[in-house]
Amino acid sequence: MLHGHHGSVFVRITKAMSDSANPSLEELRWDYHVNTLRREDLAPDPLNQFKKWFEEALAAEIREPNAMTLSTIGLDGYPTSRTVLMKDYTDDGVTFFTNYESRKGRELEANPVASVLFFWKDLERQTLIRGKVERLAAEESTRYFLSRPYDSRIGAWASKQSEEIPNRGWLDERVEKFETEFPDSGSEENVPRPEFWGGYLLIPEFVEFWQGQPGRKHDRFEYRRNEGEWSARRLSP
């Protein structure tokens, strides 16, 4: 259920902060009023619920609604997080692409589990998806790679992602090298997909939907998969 209180909430919070020229961290908070989430609103399948929320994020014209924080388990045992873009979602899960030799690629090869978090600020919502990760088939990765802009495809070849480099000039020289090797002919296939670059599918085992509420009484529902069947439960905020 959507309610149009964005403006009034913004004015109320802005006024409160404007009373102090330099508000302390303790004063920086937002009073959530935009939406609600009740059990009767939930779809039986969390991926259908995700589809509904994602379409509402698109309709609200949120900038990069497909941006998500991807968290993996580091080779040193510490968690690692970064923002990546979801490039597809189906009944099987959510898809993203990267350099397989990057930090996240190496971490996913060593421990193929991950979580992704979507935060849609204007709707005061977030969705957390946790599960196992597997590589996409090579043909799926190639199909997506060839759809990318020329500069992005060159960048995939040029970047030794997550490795230390001496300076910015080193990267610029790499870009020039591959622009010479793969000149822009206007064809999708003029820059082939590197074997070290491709996609992953995150297969959900747990999905949580969080909706901000007044007084920090947020609505939280978690779906769990058990033997192929989904069940949902309400969590305390």
Residue pair 181/187 in contact (Cβ under 8 Å)? The answer is no
Compute the distance between CA of residue 171 and CA of residue 234 in angstroms, rounded to an integer: 49
Q: Which of 79, 80, 83 is nearest to 96 (CA)?
A: 83
Measured CA to CA, the distance from residue 82 to residue 227 in angstroms comes to: 31
Task: Select which of 29, 38, 39, 216 is catalytic.
Answer: 216
Asked if 114 and 70 count as a contact pair (C-beta separation under 8 A), the reply is: yes
∠ CA 138-141-143, rounded to 5°: 110
> Residue 216 catalytic?
yes
Maximum CA extent, the chain: 59
Quick one: DSSP state of residue 186?
S
Evaluate whether 41 touches 118 at the Cβ level (below 8 Å). Answer: no
Distance CA 97, CA 35 (A): 32
Q: Which residues pair with 73 in a beta bridge?
A: 79
* Three-state secondary-structure class, residue 117: strand
Give catalytic residue positions.
216
